Amino acid sequence: MPLGFRKNLRDSRSAASDRRAAETGGAPDRSVVLGEVEELGIGMFWATDAEGNLSFLSSRALADLGAGAEDLIGKPLIRVFNDIDAEAGGPTQRSLAFKLKARSKLDEQIVALTDARGSTRWWRLNGRPLLDAEGNFRGYRGSAVDISAQYAYETQVARQSQVDELTGLANRRKLNERLSAMLAAFRVSQRSCALMMLDLDRFKQVNDTMGHPAGDELLKQVATRLQSIVKDAGEVGRLGGDEFQVLLPDMDDRGTLGELANRIVQSISQPYQINGRRAIIGTSVGIAIAPYDGLEADELTRAADMALYSAKETRGGTFCFFTSELRDAASKTALLGERLRDAVDKGELKLAYQPLVDPVTNEVKCFEALLRWHDEEEGDISPAQFIPVAENDDLIIRIGEAALRQACIDALAWPETIRVAVNVSAKQFVRPGYRKAVAAALQASGLPPQRLELEITESVFVGDLETVDAIFRDLKKLGVRLALDDFGTGYSSLGYLKHGHFNKIKIDQSFVRGCTENGDINPAIIAAIVALAKALGMETVAEGVEAMDELALVKERGADLVQGYIFSKPITQEQVLAQFAEGAGLFRPSGPPRHRAERITIFRKVGLIHEDHYYDVILRNLSKTGARITGLAGVPVGTDVVLDLGHGQLVVSRVANATENSQGLKFETPLIADGSGGFMTRHRISPYSLAEAGIPLAALGPGAFPLAKWREANKSVPKFVQLELSAPGS
């Protein structure tokens, strides 16, 4: 409509209004007043018919939306006006469709619509349902105000308060709100959800060596990778720094969660290109599941944090599920750190040596130096316990350098053809001056450099690869040999091998254990690694060989050396020297003919359920497919029982063999690995389900549901004799 014509129309309306006002004694015509209000920009008006179709938009509204807005007339109102996205920072409100269907009044209803230019505009609607004299619904009549500028500003402010500016992910505040709301709703609907906590391994190293802008770019790429893996299964957020969180509703299958966590670890560990430079980091993942590990947001978050800490303590670059034992482990770790420092000061850590043997000739070619710690009060403490504690402290530097010096001194007393291999931690490797420490150990002992092997795990490649390559070149100049330890288990990349730094690849024992079982793909992996190493001129070592069938397989696949109990456990320097004094550098294989399923020696109190009785038993060992328990007498072979491992983990079992006070159980469904060297059930029994079944939660054993006896009412006579349980260590 031309501006001149519109002005004339407005003037004529005003004149007509004035005439009517004069004729009626001063009261202007109502429709004219509404038109004048609209022309002044105070408001816009709309109406629908009884079917909910838009039947009227005032001229100001049509002009506001631009050319073609007349085509909106006759369309359903819910197709013209769209509900706003509360997730994007808009206010929470009932949907427009819900209110129209209920014929409710519309008060300050904010809607979105598209104008002729394709831009989104936001209006605030008010409206009332119109009824005729007979009470029949005639449609809606309402007004609208354009609030686009104000709404865009307010939603931007609200979004910034909930979104991490760097990555675009949900921030800590939004994640906490979502988790709290989800847990509250899920308690009512008896649903589960999982929480993953992640932080990046060696991110600080990238930040320090490549600069903060590179660190920011790395975080953006990590966010993209996480979103591409999780997709619509959950929500990814950044808590700050290098910490991320993944919220996964309706997910409690620990097998599925473990697979997802493993995919995250593998994806985050692949190389990054940042400003033309290459960097590698890693991640560790802690997992907690509601309602088993917590019902409130702070409980579940603490549980996931403890699991994350355990994953980092294990070795980093892995995942761990929360268990009730982790609470005790956290305090034990702090005490262990204090004791370890005292042990280092007193020189209580010793070296033992495990042979690496040629499987064809049985000749020893090398010994790996392994740390051992015997504490006067605790006895032998496993390196799996104290090395991670040392890794979290600069104590690993002292321990590593002392072990290197001693190993060089000890090896000098061996035949000249025998090498010594020494493990190097990532923290020790990247520390300035490491090359000097190696050179000093060689000089002080007089050991020829070619007789020293440094075993390095893939974790050293995390960070700035240019710095790492420079360290490798310096070590090669010394003349020492380099071995890549635990190949295929960490931040694996064939790119590590193409630079030619390594003389040896050690095939991790996880590929060797169980490699002879039907359908296992590990033999193909072993063969591929051996072929790759031979093509690159590298030696291969198969680790962890314990059974004769495993030895035959790795030998047939072409492994150059074998390390494991099949030849020898780690032995002292005195035993090594005695072996050579007898003129024998041979180690004969000795072990079971076939591989047995991996078992964990354990000693803890658990429960056994038979019919309507709950018995206390001691769990002696545990594998994926079975367990051995003590504490009951008179249990016949073939008896069906349920083993209660605690924390909702109930395992349907059958007694496969029995002695007077000991039973071997075979599980109906195998357990799965928990990511930190243990086993767990894939599913847990929900406390909601137990409550519905009338079983008190206290009957579920230790953990989230404290152990208590079953109700005494209507119970049958016990079939088994409950023995007095031996105290641990007896």
Cis amide prior to 291 (ω within 30 degrees): yes
Instruction: State yes or no: pLDDT of 706 exceeds 60.
Output: no
Nearby residues of 508 by Cβ (< 8 Å), 6 or more positions away = 486, 487, 488, 489, 543, 544
Instruction: State yes or no: pLDDT of 156 exceeds 80.
Output: no
Q: Is the dihedral of CA 464, 466, 471, 472 positive or negative?
A: positive
Burial tier of 60 (Cβ tally within 10 Å: 0-12, 13-18, 19+):
buried
Nearest to 323 by CA among 677, 710, 690: 677
387, two tokens = 């090395």
* pLDDT value of position 38: 66
Q: Which residue has the tokens 């088994």?
A: 720
Q: pTM score, two decimals?
A: 0.57
Burial tier of 311 (Cβ tally within 10 Å: 0-12, 13-18, 19+):
buried
CA-derived radius of gyration, the chain? 36
Do 267 and 200 touch, CB atoms closer than 8 A?
Answer: no
Do 170 and 283 touch, CB atoms closer than 8 A?
Answer: no
* pLDDT value of position 572: 95
* pLDDT value of position 91: 64
Do 202 and 462 touch, CB atoms closer than 8 A?
Answer: yes
Q: What is the DSSP letter of 232?
A: G
Which residue(s) pair with 632 in the sheet?
722
Mean pLDDT of 507-536: 83
* pLDDT value of position 419: 97
CA 371/CA 143 separation, integer angstroms: 80
Nearby residues of 474 by Cβ (< 8 Å), 6 or more positions away = 435
The answer to which of 156-165, 204-213, 398-407, 497-506 has the lowest mean pLDDT is 156-165
Do 45 and 56 touch, CB atoms closer than 8 A?
Answer: yes
> When comparing pLDDT for 464 and 541, which is higher?
541
So where are the chain's domains?
A: 43-156, 162-323, 329-581, 599-722
- How many Cβ atoms sit within 10 Å of the Cβ of residue 159? 14
61, two tokens = 């509204």
Q: Rounded to a whole number, what is the largest CA-CA distance in the chain?
A: 132
pLDDT digit string (tens) for 177-193?
899 989 988 888 888 99
- How many Cβ atoms sit within 10 Å of the Cβ of residue 70? 10
Mean pLDDT of 634-650: 87
What's phi and psi for 408, nearest 5 deg?
-65, -40
One-letter amino acid identity for 538? M
Do 370 and 352 touch, CB atoms closer than 8 A?
Answer: yes
pLDDT digit string (tens) for 258-286?
999 989 998 998 888 888 888 888 899 99
* CATH top class, domain 329-581: alpha beta
> Domain 43-156 falls in which CATH fold?
Beta-Lactamase (3.30.450)
Nearby residues of 12 by Cβ (< 8 Å), 6 or more positions away = none
CA 247/CA 234 separation, integer angstroms: 5
CA 509/CA 383 separation, integer angstroms: 16
State which CATH number among 1.20.58, 1.10.10, 2.40.10, 1.20.120 fits the domain covering 599-722.
2.40.10
Instruction: State yes or no: pLDDT of 699 exceeds 60.
Output: no
Task: Strands of 204-281 (E only): list them.
Answer: 235-240, 243-249, 272-274, 277-280
Question: How many Cα atoms are found within 13 Å in the side-chain-facing hemisphere of 444?
Answer: 15
Work out the mean pLDDT of the chain and round it to a whole number: 83
* pLDDT value of position 277: 86
Q: Which residue has the tokens 């369309």?
A: 75
Considering 59-63, 86-90, 139-143, the range whose residues carry the highest mean pLDDT is 139-143
* pLDDT value of position 422: 96
Q: Quote the percentage of the chain above a pLDDT of 70.
A: 82
pLDDT digit string (tens) for 621-635?
898 889 999 999 999
* pLDDT value of position 475: 92
Q: Which residue has the tokens 């006895």?
A: 379
Per-residue H/E/C for 650-703: EEEEEEEEECCCEEEEEECCCCEECCCCCEECCCCCCHHHHHHCCCCHHHHCCC
Instruction: State yes or no: pLDDT of 464 exceeds 90.
Output: no
Instruction: State yes or no: pLDDT of 201 exceeds 70.
Output: yes
* pLDDT value of position 693: 52
* pLDDT value of position 675: 65
* pLDDT value of position 113: 87
Instruction: State yes or no: pLDDT of 619 exceeds 50.
Output: yes
655, two tokens = 């007694």
The answer to which of 19-33, 158-172, 295-309 has the lowest mean pLDDT is 19-33
Instruction: State yes or no: pLDDT of 412 exceeds 60.
Output: yes
CA 112/CA 123 separation, integer angstroms: 6
CA 297/CA 195 separation, integer angstroms: 10
Mean pLDDT of 95-100: 90
What's phi and psi for 447, nearest 5 deg?
-75, 130
Do 127 and 140 touch, CB atoms closer than 8 A?
Answer: yes
Classify strands 481-487 and 463-464 as parallel, antiparallel or unpaired: unpaired
CA 646/CA 328 separation, integer angstroms: 15
CA 85/CA 83 separation, integer angstroms: 7
Both ends of the chain: CA-CA distance in Å? 99
Nearest to 305 by CA among 198, 390, 388: 198
Classify strands 640-644 and 650-658 as parallel, antiparallel or unpaired: antiparallel
Classify strands 319-321 and 282-290 as parallel, antiparallel or unpaired: parallel
**Own/partner pairs, 85-92, CB within 8 angstroms, 24+ separation:** 88/155, 88/159, 89/154, 89/155, 89/156, 89/157, 89/158, 89/159, 89/161, 89/162, 90/151, 90/155, 90/158
pLDDT grade for 89, boundaries at 50, 70 and 90: low
> Domain 162-323 falls in which CATH fold?
Alpha-Beta Plaits (3.30.70)
Instruction: State yes or no: pLDDT of 692 exceeds 70.
Output: no
Length of the chain: 730
Do 403 and 369 touch, CB atoms closer than 8 A?
Answer: yes
The answer to which of 62-71, 292-301, 467-476 has the lowest mean pLDDT is 62-71
